[in-house]
Amino acid sequence: MTSASGPGEDGDRRNVSDAAGVVVLGACAVWALVTAAVHDGRPEGVLLAVLAVAAGYAAGRICGALLPVAALCAAAATGVGLVVATPRLSPGPEIVAPLGHAGGTAAVLTLSTGAACCAAWAARTPAWRLALRVPAVGIVVTAGVLGSVGGCVASGAVLLASLAAGRMRDHRGAGFAGLALTAALTTGLPWAVAGKALPEGLTVSLEGQLTRHRIDLWHDALHLAHHDAALGVGPGRFGELSATATRTLLSDGKPHSAPLQQAAEQGVVGVLLLAAAFCWMLYTLWRSPRPTPVVLTAGAALTALAAIASVGNALSFTTVSVGAGLLAGLATARPLTDESPLRAVEARPAGDRLAP
């Protein structure tokens, strides 16, 4: 599937995508309030995350329309600058740094790599595209220098996916289907580990990488989810009900897995809404009028973020939520100026109109 279409069709696509986003994000906020009211929870964290995504998306749409390449470069530079200047993205006890802040750092570096690669594809000339890929490689190296193994691996994967996206201009739908499948498989890992559904040898191997403490938190989250599958225990209440968290000195009260946290605190509906928010981002990228390599690269970065969030605490950082919304907005904005020649390559004349 390609993105070639007339202005009217592009407008209709964006209206549908925007309406879907309003419904999904609104439902996330409302459900958090409902579950908090039932169980005396604290929905502020969820509401802040929803607001951060919406604000980032709106800012990305505006900046991407005015400065389609420069805004992406600025987003990438800002992300790296935040990580280098403030390695600990928010204050917290030192004991939780390996579980929490490492995931936040990896997520910001991954989104920054995605923005840099999108900027390269959005550039007008091959020389500029090559030049703008150098910062993307630099971000991968920076992640390694900072000791962020997850950030280095995820950023490298986004860079490789971006290069592959250049060969998929006529297969946009297949690319997004592959990203959705990848996200489903990676986010299913903590469920399989928590439910002891994996072979013992693989579980022992993963325990060495993920730490026993994290896996114990996942077990607690799954237990709480089974206790009240419909509504969960209420937003923000995992820390006070988890046996592992209460035994840990200076615990941050998080299970360090976004899907399991949603299941424990907001039930099955919360998990479905989290999945819907991710699917909405992929959908709006799929429907975007921007060139296929740009939107597939952004989709790859968001998929890598979903993988990081499934085994970490990345979505608890407002910086990450804003960055995810910003990247999606930048990659779906319709520039006020003429787009890169990539658009012309993706469409071929058929009579008196453009057709895929």
pLDDT reported for residue 108: 95
What would the two tokens of residue 37 be?
């009211």
Q: 2-11, 42-51, 215-224: which range is least confident on average?
A: 2-11
d(CA 307, CA 174): 20
What's the pTM value of the predicted model, to 2 decimals?
0.88
pLDDT of 102-129, one tens digit each?
A: 888 999 999 999 999 999 999 988 999 9
User: Letter for the amino acid at 201?
Assistant: G
Categorize the per-residue pLDDT at 250 as very low, low, confident or very high, splitting at 50, 70 and 90: low
Q: 57-71, 90-104, 209-223: which range is least confident on average?
A: 90-104
Phi and psi dihedrals of 354, rounded to 5? -90, 135
